Amino acid sequence: MPKHILNGYRIIDLTHVLAGPSATRLMAEMDAEVIKVEFPPTGDIARLLPTLKNGRSAYYVQQNRGKLSLSLNIKSSEGKKILTKLIKSADVLIENFAPGVIGRLGFSWDVVKEINPSIVMCSLSAFGQEGELSALPGFDYIAQAYSGIMGMIGEKEGAPSFPMAGIGDVMTGVHAFGAIGYALLHREKTGEGQFIDVSLLDCYTHCHEINVAVYSMSEPKTIPTRSGSHHYAVCPLGLFKGKNKYICIIALQMQWASLCKVLERQELENDVRFADNDKRVENAATLIDIIQDWIDSQPDDETVIRALEKERVPCAPVLNIAEVVNHPHLVERGTIRKVQDPKVGEVEMPGMPLRFSSFEHNQELVAAHLGEHNEKVLRDVGYSSEEIEFFKAENTIFSNSNT
Amino acid sequence: MPKHILNGYRIIDLTHVLAGPSATRLMAEMDAEVIKVEFPPTGDIARLLPTLKNGRSAYYVQQNRGKLSLSLNIKSSEGKKILTKLIKSADVLIENFAPGVIGRLGFSWDVVKEINPSIVMCSLSAFGQEGELSALPGFDYIAQAYSGIMGMIGEKEGAPSFPMAGIGDVMTGVHAFGAIGYALLHREKTGEGQFIDVSLLDCYTHCHEINVAVYSMSEPKTIPTRSGSHHYAVCPLGLFKGKNKYICIIALQMQWASLCKVLERQELENDVRFADNDKRVENAATLIDIIQDWIDSQPDDETVIRALEKERVPCAPVLNIAEVVNHPHLVERGTIRKVQDPKVGEVEMPGMPLRFSSFEHNQELVAAHLGEHNEKVLRDVGYSSEEIEFFKAENTIFSNSNT
């Protein structure tokens, strides 16, 4: 009985750090054979990122559980031959080098499709494979700045703020993961492989809900801007200061009467200053003060949250990381899960975000040390023990059990 | 010749506003027959969201181009019979009502799988289908607060800021889109359908790159926190004030020497205060001032960017929406595209984020008025003209060509 949907699929994973590894991590959780190809002698630089314990990075563990590690020098001619054999045997090839690098290594899509016409190849990058920005070095925040998303976060009069989390890389990985799934579906029916170009810039820009159209349709041209902790076009929608934490409160038209009831200010419901969302935005400062005063008058944050919940006014405490990790709902659902690692020990991590009714959620998987599966992988594509010994001696393959 | 991968697939789309419609929009762009089922008399409330022109919302257009609109009263017994027929004929059913609602409407997974055992059903929600939070009303920002992501954005000493963009909804839609693709792959090989549970809370939590593990492994427990416009653990990584715009600059160890060269301060390369990232974080205030002083000494932002780019130090201007919409790279790649709508006219929107080599990028598609495809859809599942007239007369189906 296969453990999950991708049982029997072989993924050659030339990615590093975050966006690419996020995509192939989901595939590993779905039982694919992900062969992570890492350059000697360091491998994926995520192996050096904090927090480390017993020589192993939890960052690496989080993104690479369940993958096989092949540490291969693909700059050498022997390494290229081995990679060619792997590509011939695989369903998917994925890479996130800077655009052009994979071609200079000898594995552009034109070459790869000659080696294996039914393979799905996916390249991830900051700006896409082509265009004037494509040659620039890029990270999550760089693409976030160019997409206009960064400019939409932070106080209006101050510098933008950016999320201390890898949202862009992770969700770009999810875009790639999705695209690869559909390309595999297409291949299942037609036998044809194809190439997929996924970029942080495209994915971030994809997240503009209304900003682009609002600007495009405005006459005269008006530019939507960031507005701190209160929405510029919906009121109330924002953060209020509780005794211990910030509290997010949202009342659209359908929740307005309920909010007035919670505030014990039913007369506001028909107050002309707050007659509809436009009026409430116009008088936002007054309304925000009214809500803040009510919060200040309550004994604690819990009372505030319960009162709003009782009337089904959308609200939430802004949790810190400790509260997230220990929240019963997140723990019971496995949104936060405990992972056992042979070196790091027990550590909490985000759970598998996708829940399929036919398969178990949150598989037990282990991260590999650098080159841990060199022999297994090479044997699988037909190399003999003698050849493997030769590759070792020539430093075509490499391993380090202390990683 | 099929226009794209999902040609021939029928998706019954009971979703509204953003997360669900984002998922099915990608499917429509990939040539699926997406039948959007909208409650009379308003339909998806996104039809009321700004900006409107000639009675049509650009918000709706952005998320619903290429979908068929069936306005069906699924609370009526005739409506339920019609939906049952549609489910029997479909490949995918997707909904984002509050958990429990779809069951009360008579279409829980237990019922749906009896109607069509090979269908893929996906439910999207704020907190997931089960667990203590699942019954609460939720929006993007509510899940963002509970996931701990919101708490990681904004100035350390002030209120968190939140993105004025639908990042959470859109990327949750992409998670669902991906999961459905793999479930369709599974079905292609086994004939089996299944149920998929996707939530904003799971997807947001999924984006914590290192925060959860860093907290989990710390002794004594330390809680990672937001840190405004400069990263708390990497330096330099942050926003600097240019003459006209903020500029994002990142220098990891491998770019440090290059940055010193750009600053014309080569002596800093071996300065003990900045010997490695830990030391640079320790002396962040000093280093940030040095970089800011250099920027202040330059004639304009363009000169700053070009100097950094020349030495391949990752950098970016923080663009506003106008600059994004008009940026040659984004326009030429179709990351920003012009859409022609019969009512709204020409309007700019984010492009299709996924680029497949076998298919055209950015298809021409049109958004439907409410109930525009009632007859087509009902005829396709075998209803006669007389029956369709009867459904119209009984208000089981509804249409409004002014939407």
* Alpha-carbon B134 to chain mean position: 21
- Cα of A2 to nearest chain B Cα, Å: 11
Contact B176, B155 (CB under 8 A): no
Find the residue in A nearest to B174 (Cα): A175
pLDDT tens for each residue of chain A, 403 residues long: 889 999 999 999 999 999 999 999 999 999 999 999 999 999 999 999 989 999 999 999 999 999 999 999 999 999 999 999 999 999 999 999 999 999 999 999 999 999 999 999 999 999 999 999 999 999 999 999 999 999 999 999 999 999 999 999 999 999 999 999 999 999 999 999 999 999 999 999 999 999 999 999 999 999 999 999 999 999 999 999 999 999 999 999 999 999 999 999 999 999 999 999 999 999 999 999 999 999 999 999 999 999 999 999 999 999 999 999 999 999 999 999 999 999 999 999 999 999 999 999 999 999 999 999 999 999 999 999 999 999 999 999 999 999 9
Distance CA(B53)–CA(B39), nearest Å, equals: 22
**B104-112: Cβ within 8 A, 24+ apart:** B105/B74, B105/B75, B105/B80, B106/B80, B107/B83, B109/A357, B109/B195, B112/B87
CATH number of residue A268's parent domain:
3.30.1540.10
A403 is a domain residue = no
* pLDDT at residue A1 in the model: 80
Whether B88 and B192 map to the same domain: the answer is yes
- Band (B157; pLDDT cuts 50, 70, 90): very high
Chain B residues with CB inside 8 Å of A159's CB?
228-229, 239, 241, 246
Distance CA(B347)–CA(A208), nearest Å, equals: 14
Could you tell me the CA-to-CA distances from A110 to A45, A46, A192, B119, B132 in Å, in that order? 28, 30, 14, 37, 52
Cis omega before residue A99 (within 30°)? no
Q: Burial letters for B85-97: b for 16+ Cβ neighbours within 10 Å, e otherwise?
A: bbbebbbbbbbbb
Contact A176, A199 (CB under 8 A): no
- How many residue pairs from chains A and B have C-beta atoms closer than 8 A? 471
Q: Is B220 on the interface with A (CB under 8 A)?
A: no
Chain B residues with CB inside 8 Å of A98's CB?
none
* pLDDT at residue A272 in the model: 98
Distance CA(A199)–CA(B361), nearest Å, equals: 14
Contact A343, A56 (CB under 8 A): yes
Contact A236, A280 (CB under 8 A): yes
CATH number of residue B41's parent domain:
3.40.50.10540
- Cα of B312 to nearest chain A Cα, Å: 6
Q: Is A169 a catalytic residue?
A: yes
Query: For B116-127, what is the mean pLDDT?
Result: 98
Judge: A227–B164 Cβ closer than 8 Å, yes or no. yes
Whether B306 and B349 map to the same domain: the answer is no
Cis omega before residue A350 (within 30°)? no
B372 is a domain residue = yes
Contact B390, B363 (CB under 8 A): no
Domain end call among B271, B293, B318? B318
Contact B223, A321 (CB under 8 A): yes
Judge: B353–A202 Cβ closer than 8 Å, yes or no. yes
Judge: A356–B18 Cβ closer than 8 Å, yes or no. no
Contact A24, A50 (CB under 8 A): no
- Pick B329's closest partner by Cβ from A133, A159, A333: A133
Chain B residues with CB inside 8 Å of A59's CB?
209-210, 213
Whether A360 and A290 map to the same domain: the answer is no
A219 is a domain residue = no
Whether A313 and A357 map to the same domain: the answer is no
Q: Which of B13, B140, B169, B301 is catalytic?
A: B169
CB neighbour class for B266 (10 Å; exposed up to 12, middle 13-18, buried from 19): exposed
Find the residue in A nearest to B350 (Cα): A206
- For chain B, the average pLDDT equals 97
Whether B168 and B30 map to the same domain: the answer is yes
B218 is a domain residue = no
Chain A residues with CB inside 8 Å of B200's CB?
none
Helix axes B140-147, B167-190, angle to 10 degrees: 90
Whether B141 and B273 map to the same domain: the answer is no
Distance CA(A159)–CA(B240), nearest Å, equals: 8
Q: Is B285 on the interface with A (CB under 8 A)?
A: no
Distance CA(B313)–CA(B249), nearest Å, equals: 7
Q: Which two tokens stand for residue B196?
A: 């998929």
Is 90 exceeded by the pLDDT of residue B142?
A: yes
Is 90 exceeded by the pLDDT of residue B2?
A: no
Q: Which A residues, 32 through 91, put their C-beta within 8 Å of a C-beta on chain B?
A: 49-51, 53, 58-59, 61-62
B231 is a domain residue = no
Q: Is A262 on the interface with B (CB under 8 A)?
A: no
Cα dihedral sign for B316, B317, B318, B320?
negative
- Cα of B288 to nearest chain A Cα, Å: 14
Domain end call among B265, B284, B318? B318
Residue by residue, DSSP assigns B315-378 as: EEE---HHHHHT-HHHHHTTSEEEEEETTTEEEEEEPPS-EETTS-SS----PPPBTTTHHHHH
Q: Which A residues, 232 through 251, put their C-beta within 8 Å of a C-beta on chain B?
A: 232-233, 237, 239, 241, 246, 248, 250
Which of A189, A333, A341 is best to mutate for the B interface (most B CBs within 10 A)? A333
Find the residue in A nearest to B306 (Cα): A136
Query: What total number of domains does chain A contain?
Result: 2
* pLDDT at residue A324 in the model: 98
Whether A72 and A152 map to the same domain: the answer is yes
B211 is a domain residue = no
- Cα of A390 to nearest chain B Cα, Å: 33
Is 90 exceeded by the pLDDT of residue B141?
A: yes
Chain B residues with CB inside 8 Å of A254's CB?
none
Distance CA(B314)–CA(A382), nearest Å, equals: 42
Residue by residue, DSSP assigns A108-119 as: -HHHHHHH-TT-
Chain B residues with CB inside 8 Å of A248's CB?
141-142, 144-145, 150
Judge: A196–B353 Cβ closer than 8 Å, yes or no. no
Torsion of CA B2, B3, B8, B12, to 10 degrees: 180
Residue by residue, DSSP assigns A290-334 as: HHHHHHHHSS-HHHHHHHHHHTT--EEE---HHHHHT-HHHHHTT
Q: Is A136 on the interface with B (CB under 8 A)?
A: yes
A89 is a domain residue = yes
Contact A67, A367 (CB under 8 A): yes
Find the residue in B nearest to A360 (Cα): B196
- Cα of B303 to nearest chain A Cα, Å: 16
B227 is a domain residue = no
* pLDDT at residue A2 in the model: 87
| Single-letter residue type at A293 | D
Whether A297 and A356 map to the same domain: the answer is no
Judge: B319–A167 Cβ closer than 8 Å, yes or no. no
Distance CA(B11)–CA(A369), nearest Å, equals: 43
Whether B129 and B263 map to the same domain: the answer is no
Which of A171, A288, A311, A338 is best to mutate for the B interface (most B CBs within 10 A)? A171
Q: Which of A13, A169, A197, A341 is catalytic?
A: A169
Whether A43 and A173 map to the same domain: the answer is yes
What pairs with residue A197 in β-bridges?
Answer: A123, B355
Judge: A223–B188 Cβ closer than 8 Å, yes or no. no
Q: What are phi and psi of B89, to 5 degrees?
A: -95, 0
Find the residue in A nearest to B146 (Cα): A319
Which of B227, B324, B360 is best to mutate for the A interface (most A CBs within 10 A)? B324
Structural domain boundaries, residue A128: 10-206+328-393
Whether A261 and A113 map to the same domain: the answer is no
Q: Is A169 on the interface with B (CB under 8 A)?
A: yes
- Cα of B165 to nearest chain A Cα, Å: 5
* Alpha-carbon A181 to chain mean position: 16
- ipTM of the modeled complex: 0.98
Contact A180, A112 (CB under 8 A): no
Contact B344, B48 (CB under 8 A): no
- Cα of B105 to nearest chain A Cα, Å: 21
Judge: A141–B250 Cβ closer than 8 Å, yes or no. yes
Locate tokens 């068929």: which residue? Answer: B68
pLDDT per residue as tens digits for the range B34-63: 999 999 999 999 999 989 999 999 999 999
Whether B306 and B352 map to the same domain: the answer is no
Q: Is B386 on the interface with A (CB under 8 A)?
A: no
Judge: B182–A181 Cβ closer than 8 Å, yes or no. yes
Query: For B308-322, what is the mean pLDDT?
Result: 98
Is 90 exceeded by the pLDDT of residue B1?
A: no
Find the residue in A nearest to B352 (Cα): A206
Domain end call among B318, B341, B363? B318
Cis omega before residue B220 (within 30°)? yes
Judge: B195–A357 Cβ closer than 8 Å, yes or no. yes
Distance CA(B232)–CA(B225), nearest Å, equals: 8
